[in-house]
Amino acid sequence: MKLLDPAEYSVYKRDGDFVFIINCNRKKVIINDLGERVEVPESYNGGIYTEFKGFIILEYTEDSIPVPFKKINDEIADNTRSVTQFRTRIKIPQSANPKQGLESSSTAHQWRNQHYTFSANTIYSVARFNATVYNKINHIYVRDDDNDGFTNIDSVNNLYNKDPRFMVGVIQTDGEDNEPYEFPSNGADKSGTKLFGGNWLNFSIYLPQLGYVVSDEFDGMRVNTYFHIPKAKNRLTDNNDPIAANDTNTKWFPRTDLNWTNFIVVPENEIKIFRGFPKKGGDNDDNYFNNNTINIDNYMHGLKDCPYGGGKLNGNSTNTTKNGYVYFYKGFDTADCIDFVSRVLNIQ
């Protein structure tokens, strides 16, 4: 892998929306006398490239949007304890088996090599599995290597009967402050508060703001198991671990066996369908899609592979029934990726 020179692609941005137009640079083909596409060697004089292989990394830098209250000292503990906040970064695509990928030195190369093969004249978007980890216990706990690096009291990808205030990665979707943004829901807590988590979300990526604690109480750093497992403490500090080409430093990447991502194909006719959907977010169970059918195989959902029991009905990882609805969100506040790509590509 190499880092692309800015001259090799075009980028358009607007209020959180973005479009990359990238030139293909692999799999050169010609059309023979029979009208058939034939692949030719790289050295062939003529032909056109039809593929591109690569990945992207999304992040907010401190220069663009500083983290508020980045470090907080606990005066009650005589300043022997502090919380440092940070925003996670994310690679697309990424996935890993439990305790593998970037979290293991023996499999980190697999994470670095993960990529997607794009085809010419095709429109893609992104999807992320919005993982959650619940833990309400406030005493010193033990991370369990036999439990894939989670603690023995963690509840992973499970919204059912849980208090969202003690859950990392969850999105509350109802209430006076949240309903105007029209975010989809796939479950609820014990009081009926609508939530989203433990399933795939198409079109939108959000980067959670987390924090790690430094304390004399436990001789070092501590962070929620949503982010890393015990042997991955260099995710919290600057390092020289490679990403691709000459790019290094894997700080702030969340655990790749939990935070899966992927690219999705969005046909032009389905862009028009989503553009006509009257709300910012939802799922294909809405009556609108009875007469505006999409091919769910193009998108990520609970019937496809999910980490750690995710993708289940009602956001309950203990449920045996998988959730096959396609959840999507076009953008927060003024952002609308469907409208933006329609404007950039002149999709009428």
Cβ(114)–Cβ(263) under 8 Å?
no
pLDDT the model gives residue 136: 78
pLDDT tens track for 254-285: 999 999 999 999 999 999 999 999 999 999 99
pLDDT tens track for 64-122: 777 766 666 665 555 567 888 888 999 999 999 998 988 888 899 999 999 999 999 99
Q: Which of 296, 256, 280, 278 is nearest to 128 (CA)?
A: 256
Q: What is the rounded CA–CA span in Å between residue 277 and residue 285? A: 12
pLDDT the model gives residue 141: 57
pLDDT the model gives residue 74: 61
Residue 311 amino acid letter: G
pLDDT the model gives residue 54: 94
Mean pLDDT by 10 residues, the chain (348 residues): 82 94 94 92 93 93 72 60 86 94 88 96 98 78 68 89 91 91 93 94 92 74 78 75 90 93 98 97 96 96 97 94 97 96 96
Q: What is the rounded CA–CA span in Å between residue 270 and residue 345? A: 14
Largest CA distance in the chain: 81
pLDDT the model gives residue 61: 78
Residue 313 amino acid letter: L
Residue 264 amino acid letter: I
pLDDT the model gives residue 7: 85
pLDDT the model gives residue 218: 63
Q: How many Cβ atoms from other residues are within 10 Å of residue 295's Cβ? A: 11
pLDDT the model gives residue 231: 52
Q: What is the rounded CA–CA span in Å between residue 285 and residue 98? A: 32
Q: What is the rounded CA–CA span in Å between residue 197 and residue 170? A: 5
pLDDT the model gives residue 227: 84
Which residues, listed in sequence order, are joined to residue 187 by a DSSP beta bridge?
A: 195
